[in-house]
Amino acid sequence: MDIWARVADRFVDDHYESLRGRVRTRIIDAHLGEILPSPPARVVDVGGGAGNQSLPLSRRGYNVTIIDPSPAMLSKARTALEEESQEVRSRVDLIQSTGEEALEHVDPASFDAVLCHAVLPYLENPEPLVAMLCELATSDGVLSVVAKNRDTLAMAPGLDARWDDALVAFDAGREVNRLGLDTRADTPADIQRMLRENGVEPLGWFGVRLFTDMLAEDLEIGDDEQVVAVELEASRRDPYRQLSRLFHVVGRKLSDSSRSSAA
């Protein structure tokens, strides 16, 4: 069953077009710009859905593969691709599959960059998927993982004056998100540990979406460029990044020689 079928329109057309969605995409794109190899490197976006994060990379010359289990989300990606030039379309492959089954469709160690953004919250156990992400990366390839911040789950109910919910959230590891879906949360240390266990050295982590997650929907926010500039600065600084709704861990797969030296 495609659990995304009933929320695909809301997620792609509403969330990604909202201030929160625009900021999320822009901030992560800025982080990626600091770590991605130059085009035409091969990028796989696992759980990439409609391609909001990775299709812009194809416009910049990257060869992009989107792997997603949802027919509804991949249909959104196809619709978006119809608006692109033939040159951009030729650089994008769409594959319907779970991330855990990715090697049934692509070769191991075949991507210069592996993206997996906001997929782990929908999994009961993220470790098999993280292991697969690491298998997909070439030696010295880059990994990019975005997850929900367990340490800030009390923020949303607290700011809504839902005090009972906020008290529970301090020690919770799950929440129902704005789409009405049950989600799990992690910490940067959780993801960094999983990467290390699979031969990937973490390079660091960023926050994603702090101030904009706290704003009322109808608040006049000014120019998007100003908002992104503030959020980007917050994403790199403590204590601000620690308070963000999401976090972004980046790492690099160790080469065989590096692993041998470490051993």
Q: What is the DSSP string of 137-184?
A: EEEEEEEEEEEEBGGGTTHHHHHTT-HHHHHHHTT-SEEE-TTS-EEE
Contact criterion met (CB below 8 Å) for 53 and 62: no
CA distances, 62 to each of 55, 93, 101, 248, 253 (Å): 9, 12, 23, 21, 19
Contact criterion met (CB below 8 Å) for 253 and 134: yes
User: What's the whole-number average pLDDT of the chain?
Assistant: 92
The more confident residue out of 43 and 4 is 43
Q: Which of the residue ranges 140-149, 174-183, 211-220, 246-255 would you say has the lowest mean pLDDT? A: 211-220
Residue 48 has phi, psi (to 5 degrees) of -75, -5
In the chain the first and final C-alpha atoms are separated, in Å, by 44
The candidate with the shortest Cα–Cα distance to 21, out of 180, 154, 208, is 208
Banded pLDDT at 258 (limits 50, 70, 90): low
Q: Which of the residue ranges 145-149, 219-223, 234-238, 248-252 would you say has the lowest mean pLDDT? A: 219-223
Fill in the amino acid letter for 138.
T
The candidate with the shortest Cα–Cα distance to 155, out of 227, 238, 214, 221, is 214
The structural domains of the chain, with segments of one domain joined by +, span: 8-252
pTM, 2 dp = 0.93
Class of domain 8-252: alpha beta
Whole-number pLDDT of residue 214:
85
- How does pLDDT run across 74-123, given as a tens digit for each residue? 999 999 999 999 999 999 999 999 999 999 999 999 999 999 999 999 99
- How does pLDDT run across 191-229, given as a tens digit for each residue? 999 999 999 999 999 999 999 988 866 556 667 899 999
